[in-house]
Chain A
């Protein structure tokens, strides 16, 4: 599928298969094309070229109302003049479902979402979380083939968002409907997705299960985007040291980092001499030492972020910032000189020009 708006290509040649009953998350920064993709699936937009096939049927030409999908919008889009009950019943009313059946369906959904007590209220008297549930109820009441959710919890308070994440996923496990969920928040994607499809600038970067995308990012963008904080990326070049061993000349402060045998082997196979690389290492695999340490690099403390159960120490290394995850009982001063080391068994390498991972 390709989607253009005038000269601007929002989605470039996207090929995506979503399995029956799967909760797929479309993840990416603002403007990456994820919402456009969702809207094309729904029929609210028509692709410039390509097709959408739902349950074996080509629905590309069909209007949104004829595709048997349910859409949950970012700002709920509840009808302000109708009560919560009427909002949920609305799609059924539009299909002229008899009242008894309609009540039964609404009841079922209302119990599932635990909103029995707010049915008489109008949207302006509902909290954000309740409005969210009503919006979900309106989608659920129809037994659609696919649920499409466009950043539905983005506008809620942070505390609420976490609650809703678990609820939404639990709901999905209950009803097992095929769902496509769009978000820019990688935490949401990691916690809810059966698979995550990462997009950037209209192009699909990687698709896979959360732990796969986390542990084996295919390029620099995914490495940085997934994980909170994202993977540290350090510019370097393989260089043979005085002892004949292959090491990495780090651009940050020009130190030579020693490599274990396995990595030396890998680099010898995959990389040409003198080719610029990017070393990727996650904050939890980065350790900060206040004393001298073997196989470490010199850095300076830039700022400490207290996360409660752990701390993230931002270290300035040359022009780059490297983040390390430390215990909550450690306190460092800004400007303090320290040494940082990496768990070399878990680092990843990327080609500096193409941005692609060289690990395979």
Chain B
């Protein structure tokens, strides 16, 4: 008995250590970005990087504003300095700039939110209903359809970049929210249908059959029985679909410019007069991480299978 128990303890310790190491490695890029967003301008380019530094929020201010450098010989006067708000002063101190107006980030952030939330909702709606159809009904050529749907993911999306651009321009969907939403839905629905069909397949048909016999319409049976039991699948799919849309760069870059431009298409281009503004980019990225994290945290309970279907004796 002792033999088996000891081995178990040692194994557990080794596994724990390995997991910790991997977690640390995994977290390094994330840590690096957040770290950079609090570094003062002067320290960012330093190599080897200073471990200890005075954290500054200048990068965050910069990402939200458009600025102009004070030309040589036009530094702010004593009085002007006194009149400056804290924010303006921080910016001046760090990069010798004055704030001209609010930057482009808020608008792009909003665009990202609108486009991604709406496309995710539509994808889930279409995906769940299509998955239910494929799962429950004898669709002719079902296997072919499923394969066809999957095949849309086999192509690197960028290949169709130019044709899509031309198509969008023809119908006037260029640089529009609707255009990007439709595009994201088109790409994600395939994934959603595949994953959700798997989840719905696992729900025993007898539950709906019983409801049908009891007098419910198929749609009611779907709503009252299948949906509550597919919550896990829907939550997981929603998270994946949202993250895909949220991070999408290529098409956002090609198809949007001002009105509907999303954060990924804009963030890598933070050029300041002093060169590429790493700090601002990092700050923007840090802020950009927040919505997916919030979404996952909100859905965390649904991502875990709680209730067993527990109907058969055992």
Contact = CB atoms under 8 A, between A and B. Distances in A.
- A/B contact in complex, CB under 8 angstroms: yes
A30 interface: yes
B1 A30 contact: no
A46 B4 contact: yes
Contacts of B313: 30
B3 A61 contact: yes
Interface in B1-38: 1, 3-4
B314 interface: yes
A351 B265 CA distance: 84
A60 interface: yes
Interface in A1-52: 30, 46
B314 A61 contact: no
Contacts of A46: 4
Contacts of B1: 60-61
A1 to B, nearest CB: 12
Nearest to B8: A46
A30 B4 CA distance: 30
B114 to A, nearest CB: 48
Interface string A46-74: 10000000000000110000000000000
Contacts of B314: 30
Nearest to B313: A30
A64 to B, nearest CB: 12
Nearest to A31: B314
A236 B75 CA distance: 110
Contacts of A60: 1
B5 to A, nearest CB: 9
B270 to A, nearest CB: 55
Interface in A215-238: none
Contacts of A61: 1, 3-4
Nearest to B314: A30
Nearest to B3: A61
A23 B314 CA distance: 25
A39 to B, nearest CB: 14
Interface in B283-314: 313-314
A350 B313 CA distance: 31
A30 B313 CA distance: 8
A17 B206 CA distance: 45
Contacts of A30: 313-314
Nearest to B4: A61
A65 B247 CA distance: 49
Nearest to A35: B314
Most chain A beta carbons < 10 A, residue from B1, B3, B4, B313: B1
Interface in B197-235: none
A245 to B, nearest CB: 49
A61 B1 CA distance: 5
Interface in B246-280: none
A61 B3 CA distance: 7
A287 to B, nearest CB: 36
B12 to A, nearest CB: 16
Interface in B93-146: none
A174 B125 CA distance: 62
Nearest to B2: A61
Nearest to A50: B1
A173 to B, nearest CB: 32
A73 B1 CA distance: 26
A61 B6 CA distance: 11
Contacts of B3: 61
A132 to B, nearest CB: 20
A46 B8 CA distance: 13
Contacts of B4: 46, 61
Nearest to A62: B4
Nearest to A49: B1
A60 B4 CA distance: 9
7 contacts: A30-B313, A30-B314, A46-B4, A60-B1, A61-B1, A61-B3, A61-B4
Interface of A: 30, 46, 60-61
5 A-B pairs closest in CB distance: A61-B4, A61-B3, A30-B313, A61-B1, A60-B1
